[in-house]
Chain A
Amino acid sequence: MAKTDFIIEVNHVSKQFEDGKYALNDVSLQVKKGEFVTILGPSGCGKTTLLRCIAGFQVASSGVILLKGEDVTQTPPYKRPVNTVFQKYALFPHLNVFNNVAFGLKLKKEAPETIKKKVRRALKMANLTGYEEREVDTLSGGQQQRVAIARAIVNEPEVLLLDEPLSALDLKMRHDMQIELKELHEKLGITFIYVTHDQEEALTLSDRVVVMNEGKIQQIGTPTDIYNEPQNCFVADFIGESNILSGTMIRDKRVEFCGQEFDCIDTGFGQNNPVEVVIRPEDIYVWRREDEKRGKILGQEDDDYEDRVPKGKFTKWYGEVQTCIFKGVHYEMRVLTPDGYEFLIQDYHEFLPGTEVGMLVRPEDIQIMRKEHYIYNYFEGEVMKNGKVRFLEAEWDVEEKQLEGFEAGDKVQVRVKFRDIDLQDYEEEGTLSGEVHFILYKGNHYHLTIRTDEGYDLYVNTNDVWDDGDRVGIVIKPKDIKIDKPTPAPSQEGEEKGTDR
């Protein structure tokens, strides 16, 4: 049998529920022996389902899961060489600490002496020596968590699965346990697969992070990769704070956004192609503009141009500080440019609201991403007998001239600009209703993903402020609906990545 390097291989696994929704959609993941891999994502992204498929509590609808090269897709959990630390500990309330930890060993019919020795060792590892006789419900949350960990590692599993193990603990305790988990991982040398929605936890603990959303893997990489080079808007927005702007890639290593051209280091995005630009708030250099005019770049006497702002021919841009909040280590400011772009900036220096500031960013700190969708929503539609067009499972009025050359029953492609979709506060006012599914602030406007009640996604650019989960009515004016012949059109659903438009 060919030995693989990977202890776990998840190949094209999908999990579909009875209502047809995908909890996992074609997920593939390889984990090396001894790795600490974190699956990160917002709630409902499928991360726990993936873990449960690996543990065996759920069976994948399609795809294969290999453990040490062996197909375990259909294997029941008790036959898998993995152990799980459950989110709410799942300690047996009718057993004391010793018997909880010994549960697995007793099932394996190990000798009582061996069991005693192993349990004692596991409890020592989990810093619980002396707690053997305690009832589990007399323990604190942190202690229960340790029992759960001891109960899992005492079986010497090849893989330890951890399902949001620290989510029930308070902040301080969580930090302590993070360090302990990291040490435990080093001591044991086994593979850890860790599920969390806490990005800080993921970045601190893991060798590799798997970012998931809506049942799909968005990006796999080391914590630094994930943070510095997000591959799409979701990752950029979910991990840390970021400024995400629409821009145009003029040519290799040259990008335009917020009305100016910048040098960057990215290549391979073609010429004059729309892109998304990500700049982390801590990567923007900022100084008081009046000091610059007086020949001094920085606000404070002891500051030196050489130290604070990089030398060279960088594109600078200017704006006015709107808000400035002290965040402990740094100040967080919102700066508005004259043409209406807002930037989030973190700096050790305080710039009071109303201050005119200059900004620059180093080329290597500009992260360029492909645009996932651009200007238009495309829908499949059908011309109706009454002169309306049916798409998104609703009938819409359109301008007559749009329908020239089409007959009732013709299949057409419908095109609506992101800008041209109006959202109404009251869902009854819309032809369709839906809810705000994802919000991205693009410097001078919001880019929303609206999911209709029928399950379609449409993209909307707006200056209005909406909240995640807001119910909205969707209105499209007849003049904004464009009808084309159905071409093998760029489909908006699914294939977000790699489609250059």
Chain B
Amino acid sequence: MSKLVQIFSSRRTWAWPYVLFMALFVILPLILVGVYALTDIDGHFTLHNFAKFFTHSEAIQTFLYSLMIAVLNTLICLLLGYPAAYIMATADFRTPKVMAMLFILPMWINFLLRTVATVELFNMCGLPLGEGALLFGLCYDYLPFMIYPIYNTLQKMDTSLVEAAQDLGANRIQCFWKVIVPLSLPGVYSGIVMVFMPTVSTFAIAELLTHNNIKLFGSLIQDYITTTDLLNYGAVLSLVLLIIIGVTSFFGEHDANDGETIV
């Protein structure tokens, strides 16, 4: 009996379900992607699919285009999100609550529904769907992910640091660029990572907002994976995307931990 109690009171025991979950739904799929990428349709080892990617100009173009859209979206979100976060963090105590509410409100609804609604909105206003609509939709969906991390770092910032800068002769603009911005960089990095990563692999938003006219890398992967005989090639594309995302998140983490290097 006491042995049972001991087992159940051990932290290790309680970790098991999570370990199992992660093994099944994170590690195993990753291995599967790797295996599929390195085999042909009959299960034999091959590098042919990798070679195909590097000579497949449509895939590479879509890949670059997706990267560009993601970078652009991240940039727009940053430019719109930083001031919003700054206003929220510095305003008096009632304003941020209202503003945070307004930003969080759309997130109560599933993003697919929101995207469909955006399509209707564009149709109603007689605006053409396409690249512009795509960027609008992406920005609409991912802006909160940029605002929150920045808002968090700004809000936690010691106000006496701002006062110290003013005390040492910095006017408002100097104070902003020399103290507030450098100190909020960790938030900016996590905002970038949180917006960039999902945008680069998105496909549903692109399909809906461009009537399937613009293909993003995510759509491409989806196409191949749902086509049985090209599953292995789709796995290669997934792997490429995974590596890109992995690299960006690594950069983000590295910089966030060591603010000094970028300043």
Q: Are B183 and A103 in contact (CB under 8 A)?
A: no
Contact of A94 among B158, B163, B167, B263 (CB under 8 A): B263
Judged by a CB distance under 8 angstroms, whether A3 is at the interface is: no
Judged by a CB distance under 8 angstroms, whether A238 is at the interface is: no
The secondary structure that dominates the B interface is helix
In whole Å, how far is B179's beta carbon from the nearest beta carbon of chain A? Answer: 6
In whole Å, how far is B241's beta carbon from the nearest beta carbon of chain A? Answer: 33
In the complex, what residue of chain A is closest to B179 when comparing beta carbons? A92
Contact of B167 among A83, A92, A95, A96 (CB under 8 A): A83
Q: Are B183 and A77 in contact (CB under 8 A)?
A: no
Q: Are B183 and A94 in contact (CB under 8 A)?
A: yes
Q: Are A103 and B168 in contact (CB under 8 A)?
A: yes
| Interfacial residues, chain A to chain B (CB-CB below 8 A) | 55-57, 76-78, 82-84, 86-88, 90-96, 103-104, 107-108, 135, 151-152, 155
Q: Mark B168-193, 1 if CB is under 8 A from A, else 0.
A: 11110010001100110000000000
Q: Which of B204-263 contact A (CB under 8 A)?
A: 259-260, 263
Interface residues in B, total, Cβ within 8 A: 20
26 A-B residue pairs with Cβ-Cβ distance under 8 Å, sorted by A, are: A55-B163, A55-B167, A76-B166, A78-B166, A78-B167, A78-B169, A83-B167, A83-B168, A90-B158, A90-B163, A91-B164, A92-B161, A93-B161, A93-B183, A93-B259, A94-B183, A94-B259, A94-B263, A96-B260, A103-B165, A103-B178, A107-B168, A107-B178, A108-B169, A151-B164, A155-B168
Q: Are B161 and A107 in contact (CB under 8 A)?
A: no
Q: Are B169 and A107 in contact (CB under 8 A)?
A: yes
* Docked complex Cα distance between A135 and B174 (Å): 22
From known contacts A88-B160, A90-B161, infer whether A77 and B167 are also in contact, taking CB-CB under 8 Å: yes
From known contacts A107-B168, A155-B169, infer whether A77 and B260 are also in contact, taking CB-CB under 8 Å: no
In whole Å, how far is B254's beta carbon from the nearest beta carbon of chain A? Answer: 16
Contact of B164 among A76, A84, A96, A108 (CB under 8 A): A84
* Docked complex Cα distance between A94 and B169 (Å): 18
In whole Å, how far is B156's beta carbon from the nearest beta carbon of chain A? Answer: 12
Beyond known contacts A78-B167, A151-B164: 5 more, CB 8 A cutoff: A77-B166, A78-B171, A86-B164, A93-B161, A152-B168
Q: Are B260 and A92 in contact (CB under 8 A)?
A: no
Q: Are A86 and B160 in contact (CB under 8 A)?
A: yes
Contacts of A93 in B (CB 8 A): 161, 183, 259
From known contacts A90-B158, A90-B160, A93-B183, infer whether A84 and B263 are also in contact, taking CB-CB under 8 Å: no
Contacts of A107 in B (CB 8 A): 168-170, 174, 178
Contacts of B171 in A (CB 8 A): 76, 78
Contacts of A152 in B (CB 8 A): 167-168
Contacts of B263 in A (CB 8 A): 94-95
Report which residue of A77, A91, A95 has the largest number of chain B beta carbons within 10 angstroms of its beta carbon: A77
* Docked complex Cα distance between A310 and B56 (Å): 109
In whole Å, how far is A415's beta carbon from the nearest beta carbon of chain B? Answer: 44
In whole Å, how far is A263's beta carbon from the nearest beta carbon of chain B? Answer: 54
Q: Are B170 and A78 in contact (CB under 8 A)?
A: yes
Q: Are B163 and A104 in contact (CB under 8 A)?
A: no
* Docked complex Cα distance between A87 and B158 (Å): 12
From known contacts A94-B182, A94-B259, A94-B263, infer whether A104 and B160 are also in contact, taking CB-CB under 8 Å: no
In whole Å, how far is A307's beta carbon from the nearest beta carbon of chain B? Answer: 55
In whole Å, how far is A123's beta carbon from the nearest beta carbon of chain B? Answer: 16
* Docked complex Cα distance between A57 and B169 (Å): 13
In whole Å, how far is B105's beta carbon from the nearest beta carbon of chain A? Answer: 30
In the complex, what residue of chain A is closest to B262 when comparing beta carbons? A94
Q: Mark B136-165, 1 if CB is under 8 A from A, else 0.
A: 000000000000000000000010110111
In whole Å, how far is A224's beta carbon from the nearest beta carbon of chain B? Answer: 33
